[in-house]
């Protein structure tokens, strides 16, 4: 039986841990609004002791690295669960030893003040839909493979995975070093399946909501702290949807700016709704002007994905850009939500009624149940593997 080499006995050296210096969630934290003026505002969850992983409501760091692993195919049932438990135990120890207090990661102020660890590393772990069954564990209800969507051109080598890790930090050196530590500690039990690096393009505004490679602010209409409590968290857990979405950047750039804005449904320079106001204002997809025309085009992206068409249900988008060569660039779409069925509904509407789909194509895809955070005596995965 393959053994999780190093899992129990190979404590990482002080140096490797320092490199890894991670922000796994160990403490109570408020759900913060991403890149919005109210970031850091305590939500209802702040009152209860929470054990949530960092990297969900944490303000975005400059770089991301998504790692997908498969459990060794020879591992099944209780023996497989034991091996996974050993790996997650060693990962928890490695990542928590030099842990940044999570509160320091959750506010924009900490970053502005230079507070906290320089790299602001967070590691966010989840398990894929195939894993619980194989290990004889009860799968969380909403953990299912995503359906296929019209227009996808998925490469199986960039899809799925039994264990997904989102590493984010202000330097790619730090995410890379952490990835190396995690892979070494996984031994033979977890086999790397795919990985995807992401970055935030330089913003002409110097801060604020990051822009995507189409040049638009991406993340403006994210849920508030209160909305995160209702729509993103399920207790201390959540779900992560990853989509590697190729963008036809050149073709989009050839459109006149006003046409680009019609396709997206917000202003390119400011992120404001097309009928005025500021970036913080919601788009009313049904608003009409004096002539009775919709102010936000019916086939615009923000109209197709509007939460108003989902009884208000929200997802928290925390996307990065990727560039793997001149012809392969796009959005590393990362979104957290309490039920990935929301993603499927929104994506189907995009396929049916969103002019942005002419410029995008999903080439990789994965979904994961993001485990509750670790705590004293409770390594990551404790609930699932109990």
Binders of ligand HEM in range 153-192 (CB under 6 A)? none
Residue 347 binding ligand HEM, by CB under 6 A: yes
Contact with ligand HEM (CB under 6 A): which of 121, 346, 374, 380? 346
Q: For ligand HEM, which stretch binds (CB under 6 A), given 20-28, 218-226, 288-296, 364-372?
A: 218-226
Contact with ligand HEM (CB under 6 A): which of 33, 120, 244, 266? 266
Residue 316 binding ligand HEM, by CB under 6 A: no
Residue 221 binding ligand HEM, by CB under 6 A: yes
Q: For ligand HEM, which stretch binds (CB under 6 A), given 3-11, 65-73, 135-143, 342-350?
A: 342-350
Residue 218 binding ligand HEM, by CB under 6 A: yes
Q: Which long-range contacts (CB under 8 A, 24 or more apart) does 271-274 make?
A: 271/209, 271/216, 271/217, 271/220
Query: By C-alpha distance, which of 63, 53, 66 is closest to 238?
Result: 53
CA distance 340 to 338: 7
356 contacts 350 by C-beta, under 8 angstroms: yes
Residue 360 binding ligand HEM, by CB under 6 A: yes
User: Closest separation between CB of residue 120 and ligand HEM, Å?
Assistant: 22
User: Closest separation between CB of residue 283 and ligand HEM, Å?
Assistant: 5
User: Closest separation between CB of residue 313 and ligand HEM, Å?
Assistant: 9
CA distance 237 to 229: 11
Helix axes 77-96, 172-186, angle to 10 degrees: 140
Taking the least distance from each CB to ligand HEM, the nearer of 145 and 176 is 145
In the beta sheet, which residues pair with residue 241? 335, 367
Contact with ligand HEM (CB under 6 A): which of 75, 94, 249, 302? 302
- Give the 3-state secondary structure of residue 143: coil
CA distances (Å), origin 308, targets 80, 304, 346? 43, 10, 11
Neighbours of 374 (CB within 10 A): 25
Q: For ligand HEM, which stretch binds (CB under 6 A), given 114-122, 162-170, 177-185, 213-221?
A: 213-221
Q: For ligand HEM, which stretch binds (CB under 6 A), given 86-94, 180-188, 288-296, 340-348?
A: 340-348
User: Closest separation between CB of residue 148 and ligand HEM, Å?
Assistant: 14
Residue 343 binding ligand HEM, by CB under 6 A: yes
The DSSP output letter for 61 is -
Stretch 275-294: interaction string toward ligand HEM, x if CB under 6 A = --------x-----------
Please give the full DSSP string across 278-303, using - where no structure is assigned.
-TTSPP-TT-B-TTS-BSS-TTSHHH
Element (H, E) at 112: helix 108-112
CA distance 80 to 76: 5
Query: By C-alpha distance, which of 372, 350, 369 is closest to 152?
Result: 350
Contact with ligand HEM (CB under 6 A): which of 152, 162, 212, 355? 212
Residue 336 binding ligand HEM, by CB under 6 A: no
* Tokens matching residue 133: 């069954």
Residue 264 zone, left/alpha/beta (φ > 0; ψ -120 to 50; rest): alpha
Give residues in contact with ligand HEM (CB under 6 A). 212, 214, 216-221, 243, 245, 264, 266, 271, 283, 301-302, 305-307, 315, 331, 333, 343, 346-347, 350, 360
């Amino acid at each position: 039986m393959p053994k999780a080499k190093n899992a129990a006995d190979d404590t990482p050296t002080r140096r490797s841990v320092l490199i890894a210096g991670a922000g796994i969630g160990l403490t109570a934290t408020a759900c913060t609004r991403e890149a919005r003026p109210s970031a850091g505002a305590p939500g209802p969850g702040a009152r209860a002791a929470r054990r949530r992983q960092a990297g969900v409501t944490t303000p975005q760091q400059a770089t991301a690295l998504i790692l997908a692993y498969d459990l060794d195919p020879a591992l099944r049932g209780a023996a497989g669960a034991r091996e996974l438990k050993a790996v997650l135990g060693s990962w928890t120890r490695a990542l928590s030893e030099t842990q940044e207090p999570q509160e320091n990661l959750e506010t924009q102020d900490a970053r502005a003040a230079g507070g906290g660890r320089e790299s602001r590393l967070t590691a966010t772990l989840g398990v894929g839909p195939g894993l619980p069954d194989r290990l004889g564990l009860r799968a969380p209800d909403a953990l299912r493979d995503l359906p296929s969507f019209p227009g996808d051109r998925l490469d199986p080598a960039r899809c799925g995975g039994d264990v997904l890790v989102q590493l984010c930090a202000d330097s790619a050196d730090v995410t890379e070093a952490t990835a190396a530590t995690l892979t070494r500690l996984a031994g033979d039990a977890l086999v790397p399946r795919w990985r995807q690096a992401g970055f935030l393009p330089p913003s002409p505004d110097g801060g604020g909501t990051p822009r995507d490679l189409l040049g638009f602010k991406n993340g403006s209409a994210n849920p508030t702290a209160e909305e995160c409590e209702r729509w993103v968290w399920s207790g201390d857990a959540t779900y992560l949807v990853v989509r590697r979405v190729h963008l036809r950047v050149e073709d989009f750039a050839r459109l006149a700016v006003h046409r680009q804005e019609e396709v997206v449904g917000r202003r390119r320079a400011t992120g404001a709704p097309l009928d005025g106001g500021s970036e913080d204002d919601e788009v009313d997809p049904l608003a009409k002007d004096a002539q009775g025309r919709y102010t936000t085009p019916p086939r615009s992206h923000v109209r197709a994905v509007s939460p108003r068409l989902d009884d208000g249900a929200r997802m928290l988008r925390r996307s990065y850009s990727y560039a793997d060569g001149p012809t392969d660039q796009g959005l590393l779409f990362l979104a957290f939500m309490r039920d990935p069925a929301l993603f499927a509904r929104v994506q189907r509407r995009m396929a049916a009624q969103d002019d942005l789909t002419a410029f995008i194509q999903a080439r990789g895809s994965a979904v994961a149940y993001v485990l509750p955070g670790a705590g004293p005596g409770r390594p990551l995965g404790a609930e699932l593997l109990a």
